[in-house]
A = this chain, B = another copy of it.
Amino acid sequence: MSASHAAVDGARVLADLNALRAIGAYKTGVHKPTFSEAHIRSLEWLVERLPTAGLTGSIDGIGNVVSRSEKAGRKLLAGSHLESQNYAGWLDGPLGVVYALEAARVINGDPGINGAVEVAAWCDEEGHFGHFLGSRSYVGAVTEADIDAARDRTGGRTMRDALGAVGLAGRKRVTAERGRHIGYLEAHIEQGETLESSGGKIGVVTSIVGIWQYRIVFTGEQNHAGTTRMAIRKDAGLALAKFCVAIDDRFPKLCGPRTVWTTGRITLDPGAPSIIPGRAEMLFQIRDDDASVVARLEAALHGMADEVNAEGRCSVAVERIRTGRPATMDTAFQRAIEDASTAFADGKSSRMPSGAGHDAQVLATIMPAGMLFVPSIGGISHHWREDTADEDIVTGAHVFVDACRRLLGP
């Protein structure tokens, strides 16, 4: 059994995760929207614990905690996020931060390892104010103007106001020091049921899918639902429903093995029971790790729109509003996780893409990155019932720390 294994303390990992669950607790989960009091207290909890792992750090001007070690040798960046979706699970985010903290506690004081783990908590991974604003700030992809423009999901509160309210206005934002890190490692719950249904204990992430998003707008003619004969109607809502059904019919013949697509929101205008909708809009999303598959599906969307427009009753416009950037996980990181699984999880690991987005895809734009998953009970995610068995959490911690050790080398 390796030295790092002896030092990993499963009870400490579980205690830390439960301490974070107690901050902003909701049923068996948590409610910690970005910049909520519970979120800030969770960040402060982390900052207070950094010295026990040989690290220094504070909350920066966008709500990230990025820590530094003065130990000589290689540096591995590791972490995840501490805010949550509304009324969501206790592990989505904290698991990766606590694993990173545990790795730092085990490795940074070990003179036998020529390097250190530096812990990070990225702000707003859950997108209350935008897309990966914290990790994107760290890699240099967020301008002050981007922050000026950011508002919460309801459009009600600006990010500037939120930063001011928690005392972060005017603080410097920490950005990556190029060349400092050999890479970034993140652990997360799987959020699906692949591991559970196959008996796996560790998911070795091969890639993180890109998210392409479209606004599809149908224009017909608003009219009276009583006096307008069926034959002359131009019902934008019906055109939208037919389009959804056509997607359901055609996409399976064109998609890749793991493509997913979702219509998450539909709006009919004016939305009154006695008025034929003159305008209808759908938010449509495609996720894949293969951009060429999405290009094929996007071409199909445009082809279907052309057919609607040619028919002449309603017109439809397909607008891409978000372009996916699939991220490939570094092969050396995949191997390190797999080797650690052989050592500490009876080899029960399997390679898989991540259908959810993670900060690792942002970090991957400037350094090698890797991710590992632990099983989600029933695949439940973004719900307070989200959970993982304690023994799977502890196994994951052992694998994570061992993978860090393997990556830092002797």
Contacts and interface: CB of A to CB of B under 8 A. Distances in A.
Contact of A265 (B213, B262, B273): B273
Interface residues of A, number: 56
A219 to B, nearest CB: 16
Given A241-B241, A245-B241, A245-B245, A227 B262 contact: no
Contact of A228 (B260, B263, B276, B354): B260
Interface stretch (A68-76, A156-164, A230-238): A230-238
Contact of A238 (B235, B263, B274, B379): B263
Interface in A332-382: 354-357, 379, 381-382
Given A224-B382, A241-B244, A264 B274 contact: yes
Contact of A237 (B224, B244, B287): B244
A225 interface: yes
Contacts of A275: 262, 264, 382
A248 to B, nearest CB: 6
Interface string A85-107: 00000000000000000000000
A192 B227 contact: yes
Main DSSP-derived SS at the A contact region: mixed
Contact of A264 (B228, B230, B264, B271): B271
Given A237-B263, A265-B268, A268-B265, A226 B276 contact: no
8 contacts: A192-B224, A213-B273, A224-B355, A226-B354, A228-B379, A238-B245, A241-B245, A264-B275
A271 B262 contact: no
Nearest to A252: B230
A11 B111 CA distance: 102
B263 A227 contact: no
A13 B271 CA distance: 36
A327 to B, nearest CB: 13
Nearest to A275: B264
Q: How many chain copies does the complex carry?
A: 2
A206 to B, nearest CB: 15
Contact of A209 (B226, B238, B241): B226
Given A226-B260, A226-B355, A238-B263, A273 B285 contact: yes
Nearest to A222: B383
B273 A262 contact: yes
Contact of A227 (B191, B272, B274): B191
A17 to B, nearest CB: 21
A92 to B, nearest CB: 10
Of A209, A223, A276, most B-chain CB atoms within 10 Å: A223
Given A192-B224, A379-B227, A274 B245 contact: no
A381 B259 CA distance: 45
Given A244-B241, A248-B238, A274-B285, A191 B262 contact: no
A263 B274 CA distance: 9
A210 B122 CA distance: 58
Given A224-B355, A230-B252, A262 B276 contact: yes
Contacts of A211: 226, 274
B263 A271 contact: no
A273 B264 CA distance: 4
A381 B224 contact: yes
Nearest to A209: B226
Contacts of A3: none
A260 B225 contact: yes
Interface string A270-304: 01111111000001010100000000000000000
A226 B272 contact: no
A266 B264 contact: no
A190 interface: yes
Of A193, A248, A252, A260, most B-chain CB atoms within 10 Å: A260
Given A191-B224, A223-B381, A229-B258, 6 more contacts: A191-B226, A226-B356, A230-B252, A237-B263, A241-B248, A264-B273
